[in-house]
Amino acid sequence: MAATFPNDDELLRFAERARDAGDLAGAAGLYQRAALRGSAEAYAELGFILRGMGDSAYAETAFQRAAEGGHGLGWYGLGLLRTDAGQGEQADALYRRAAETGHAGRLADV
């Protein structure tokens, strides 16, 4: 029987604990559940996990949904994927967009 979480904050806390414990698959599943409930933060966190697991295509989808949901880490994550792909100019534009939402990240490098 699957655990039930009364609110997104609790679900995100469990996902964070799983991630911190090294259970990336478990964390990804929990973040995905929160994302499907409409959490832009969960989409961003899911994107970072998927990128770390080597799934750039799905990470890009997660980061895009986070950005569309107004979460600056979505733009930052998209910038990381462009950096990974050697697309520096596109990455810089995405980092600037992240900074506009309050997530400076690598803006100092731009």
Walking along the chain (110 residues) 10 residues at a time, the average pLDDT comes out as: 70 95 96 94 96 96 96 96 97 94 62
Q: Which of 82, 55, 79, 54 is nearest to 66 (CA)?
A: 79
For residue 107, the model assigns a pLDDT of: 52
Residue ranges making up the domain that contains 68: 8-102
CA pair distance 82, 51, nearest whole angstrom:
12
CA pair distance 68, 78, nearest whole angstrom:
12
For residue 40, the model assigns a pLDDT of: 95
List the CATH number of the domain containing 42: 1.25.40.10
* Residue 24 exposure: Cα atoms within 13 Å on the Cβ side: 10
pTM for the model stands at 0.87
For residue 7, the model assigns a pLDDT of: 82
Dihedral angle of Cα 101, 89, 84, 51, to the nearest 10 degrees: 30
Residue 107 inside a domain? The answer is no
Overall domain count for the chain: 1
Residue 1 inside a domain? The answer is no
The rounded Cα 37 to chain-centroid distance in angstroms is 15
**91, 109 Cβ separation under 8 angstroms:** no
CA pair distance 108, 15, nearest whole angstrom:
30
Residue 66 inside a domain? The answer is yes
For residue 3, the model assigns a pLDDT of: 63
For residue 9, the model assigns a pLDDT of: 87
For residue 35, the model assigns a pLDDT of: 95
For residue 70, the model assigns a pLDDT of: 92
